[in-house]
Structure formats: structure tokens, C-alpha cells
Amino acid sequence: MNPVIVATNLSKRYGDLVAVNNIDFTIYEGETFGFLGPNGAGKTTVMKMIYCFVAPSAGNLRVFGMDVTENPRRIKTLLGVVPQEDSLDPDLTVYGNLITYSRYYEVPGRAARERTMSLLKMVSLTDKKDVVIEDLSGGMKRRLLIARGLVNEPKILILDEPTVGLDPQARHLIWEKLDELKNSGITIIITTHYMEEASKLCDRLLMMDNGVILDSGSPGELVERHIGREVLEIGNMDERLQDRILGILGDKISFDSYGNKLYLFTNSAMDLATRLQHLNLGSITGRKADLEDVFLTLTGRTLKE
């Protein structure tokens, strides 16, 4: 596999604030790569460095072998960027937005018109062609932003929180479109704090917090490594009960506790439940382990603000 983005000792500081702290990562051609982390983790800053909007303070970042500080224009020609906030041009129609952006990428007139129509079809906005941006719903705007990110047939599509603030229907539609794109072979980079999104879409992901990388790997690997296969959740917990349970299960059990809940990480929730049966616990649930467990274990369960 060809590496398309390589970061080495990459840092970004804003005055005293260290947004990205000496990180390394490699993204390969054709994969869907996710950056996961709570708000303020540094994900968006990494994205902005990739699309040459923010210059690294230290370290090296290469896109297709080109340094982001030396070749921004050539790099940007190969990227499609779908930013977090609505940055559609409010003075133009849906169609006008795509045509105008095609011009910025120097797509020739006829190709631009044809591609605009096929992109509108792809994101199901053909009948909104002549509508002004103001009259689109949040989901439609997000779909149009994705279409706009594709006008130059990019080699890499960068999506920053592509479904934040959308209702479930709109979110599923976006996932469907991204899945289609993924199958077309394009490299996709997304940032998200929705674990469902990350595990659905990403081949590999990287968890970040406070500007550093906590771990990276495929969603399955990460769950396996940090949690195991299943989770047993026990409610109505207090300190005495928790000590008693942990006493019964021995030192080797890994767990996490938050509020009045105890989370036990295991390969078989059923086995654990059987061993605790004699305690007659009222609230006890076994379920499959998922990325959310990894995320909360690695980044902590306290509120991030």
C-alpha cells in the first residue's frame, strides 16, 4: 500500500496552547481513516494542517510526498475538503456553488457542468438545483458540502465531523453516500466523535486527546485490545459492592466505573454473570463491547469542556 499522508513529530502550538503535540501517523491510499477524540482533542487542527490552512509549528507533514509548507497549491489541487461549518456560498444557488468551485479547481466548463449534475444526482439534490442555500435543510447543506468537496475528483476527501448536528435519517443518508464513495477507491479521512460512525466507516482509526495519540488500529483491534469481546454492566453500585465483586473476580479483571455503574470488560459476559449469580444483583446487562467503551476508557468518562 502506498502512503499518501505521512506525519512525523508533528506539532501545532497557539501561544501557550499545544493543540497537537508531537504526533506521528501514516495514511495509506484507498483506506478510510478516522480521527476520533473529544472536542478540543486536536483533530480539526490536524485536518487543517493537511489541507494547508494551518501551518505546523514543528515536525513534518507530507501529502503525496510534498511538504505542506512548500507546495500548498499543488496539494490542495488533489484534495477535497468538507469542513465542519457550513461554508457554502450564500449568494449563489446550489448549482452555482458547484460550478463556481469547479472554476477554482480549473475544471473545464463542460466537464464542470456534467460533473455538477452527476454530483447533484449522487447526493440527491437534483431537484434543488436552482434553490438558494438559505432554503436548504441542515442535511441537504451537508450533502451539498460533500458534493462540493468532490468537484475536482480529489484523490483524498477530508471530512470534518460530517454528520454533527444532523437527525438520524439525514445521518444515515450521509453514511450511505460515504459508503458508496469508499467503494469507489478514494482515500477518505474523517474526524468524528460519533463512535457508531467511526466503526461503520473507518478501516483504521486513531484516537486522540489533548493533542496526543492514545492508540490507533482497526476498530476491531482497538476494541479487542482495550476491552475484550463483551461488557457486563452492573447498576446500583456502591463502593462496598464493587470491592466485593472485584474480590470474587480476582485481580485480572479489567473494569471501569462511573457514577453508580460498574463496567466489567471480558470475553464472555455470560461467564462473569454466572460467577456473580449468588449476589442477586438487580441491574445487570451483558452486551458486545464497542468503540464507545474504548473511547471512554481511554479519554475518561468525565465531561470534556
**90 binds another protein, rule: CB under 8 A:** yes
**292 binds another protein, rule: CB under 8 A:** no
The answer to whether 116 touches 98, Cβ cutoff 8 Å, is yes
B/e letters for 208-221, b = 16+ CB within 10 Å, e = fewer, are: bbbbebbebbebee
Report the residue from 16, 85, 127, 134 that binds another protein according to the rule CB under 8 A.
85
Q: Which is nearer to another protein, 32 or 152 (CB)?
A: 152
3-state helix, strand, coil in the chain (%, to 5): 40, 30, 35
**258 binds another protein, rule: CB under 8 A:** no
Report the residue from 79, 147, 198, 262 that binds another protein according to the rule CB under 8 A.
79
Q: Which is nearer to another protein, 76 or 177 (CB)?
A: 76
Q: Which is nearer to another protein, 15 or 185 (CB)?
A: 15
Q: Which residues contact 260 (CB under 8 A, 6 or more apart)?
A: 235, 236, 237, 238
**157 binds another protein, rule: CB under 8 A:** no
Interacting span for another protein (CB under 8 A) from 48-56, 164-172, 206-214, 235-243: 48-56
Report the residue from 88, 178, 188, 213 that binds another protein according to the rule CB under 8 A.
88
- In the chain, beta strands by DSSP E: 3-14, 17-28, 32-36, 58-63, 66-67, 79-82, 156-160, 187-192, 204-209, 212-217, 230-234, 254-258, 261-266, 284-288
Q: Which is nearer to another protein, 81 or 174 (CB)?
A: 81
The answer to whether 178 touches 133, Cβ cutoff 8 Å, is no
**103 binds another protein, rule: CB under 8 A:** yes
Interacting span for another protein (CB under 8 A) from 97-105, 177-185, 223-231, 284-292: 97-105
Report the residue from 22, 60, 100, 297 that binds another protein according to the rule CB under 8 A.
100
Least Å distance, CB 77 to another protein, is: 5
Helix (H) or strand (E) holding 175: helix 168-183
**105 binds another protein, rule: CB under 8 A:** yes
Q: Which residues contact 137 (CB under 8 A, 6 or more apart)?
A: 170
140, 266, 280, 286, 299 from 233: Cα distances, Å: 39, 11, 14, 6, 19
As a whole number of angstroms, the distance between CA 138 and CA 140 comes to: 6
**131 binds another protein, rule: CB under 8 A:** no
Q: Which is nearer to another protein, 93 or 210 (CB)?
A: 93
**76 binds another protein, rule: CB under 8 A:** yes
Q: Which residues bind another protein (CB under 8 A)?
A: 14, 51-55, 72-73, 76-77, 79, 81, 83, 85-92, 96, 100-101, 103-106, 148, 152
